[in-house]
Amino acid sequence: MEVIAKGAEANLYLEDGVVIKERIRKEYRIPEIDRVLRTTRTKREAKLLSLARRAGVPTPVVLDVDTERKSITMSYIEGEKLKYMVEKLGEGELRELFRRVGSLAARLHRSNIIHGDLTTSNMILSGGRVFFIDFGLGEVNPSLEAKGTDLLVFVKAVRSTHFTREKEILEAFFSGYLEEYPEGEAVVERMRKIERRGRYVSVR
């Protein structure tokens, strides 16, 4: 079995054209916490990958879930992570791409799906389509608070990682988001409120 990636919480193996994502045990946390986190995240991720696809968001197809091994077997998405594309794109292409990302995030939220870790590391461009992956921190939750936090995670990730292109990315993202989900205005409003609650946030 070939290890194709070693992430923070999981190892990814490629075997016969499918990916096995195995959440590995962490020595730093006690077994009680470790077991619960790995089990619930594995189950949740498998469920949300399917729900997201039904909501119109491209995701890998789940083939098997092993709650003993804490692993998910899913189809392999060949493509490039958006994280590595940002620097290479011209302004027009970049805006077009993140408009689509915004619209996909809106589809999730319209169906009350919270991704939980919306970053450009968890989005893959493949065959002209943007796939969302890594739903392990996600949940189904209709509340404005959950959706607003989901957006804030994305905004902050863009701010820390893509600071040179923050403005273009976020403008395009929110225009795509609101176009697909006009009621999302209230979510954006809540996101700003959540951010102001944080420590030492200067008013932007």
Partner 1 sequence: MLCLGIEGTAEKLGVGIVSAEGEILANEGRPMPLREGIHPREAAQHHAQNIKALIERALSRAGVSMEEVDLIAFSRGPGLGPCLRVVAVAARTLALKYGIPVLGVNHCVAHIEIGRLTTGAEDPLTVYASGGNTQVTAYVEKRYRVFGETLDIALGNCIDQFARELKLGAPGGPIVERLAVGGSYVELPYVVKGMDLSYSGLLTAAVRQAKRASIEDVCFSLQETAFAMLVEVAERALAHTEKEEVLIAGGVVVNNRLQEMLRSMCEEHGAAFHAPPKEVLGDNGAMIAWLGVLSYLSGARQSIEETRVVQRWRTDEVEVLWR
**87-92 long-range contacts, Cβ below 8 Å, gap at least 24?**
87/165, 91/168
Taking residues 12 to 51 in sequence order and writing x for each that binds partner 1 by CB under 8 A, - otherwise, the string is --------------xxxxx-xx--xx--------------
Residue type, 31: P
Nearer to partner 1, 130 or 155 (CB): 155
Compare residues 153 and 187 and give the one whose CB is closer to partner 1: 153
Query: Minimal distance in Å, beta carbon 30 to partner 1?
Result: 5
Residue 64 bears catalytic tag: no
CA distance 52 to 99: 18
Least separation in angstroms between residue 40's CB and partner 1 is 10
For residue 127, give the amino acid letter.
G
Residues in the chain: 204
The CA-atom distances, in angstroms, between 142 and each of 8, 99, 113, 176, 184 are: 28, 23, 8, 20, 12
**Residue from 52, 108, 152, 158 in contact with partner 1 (CB under 8 A):** 152
Residue located via tokens 């006009």: 182
Active-site residue numbers? 117
Positions in the binding site for partner 1 (CB under 8 A): 7-9, 26-30, 32-33, 36-37, 116-119, 121, 137, 149-150, 152-154, 156-157, 159-161, 163, 194, 197-202
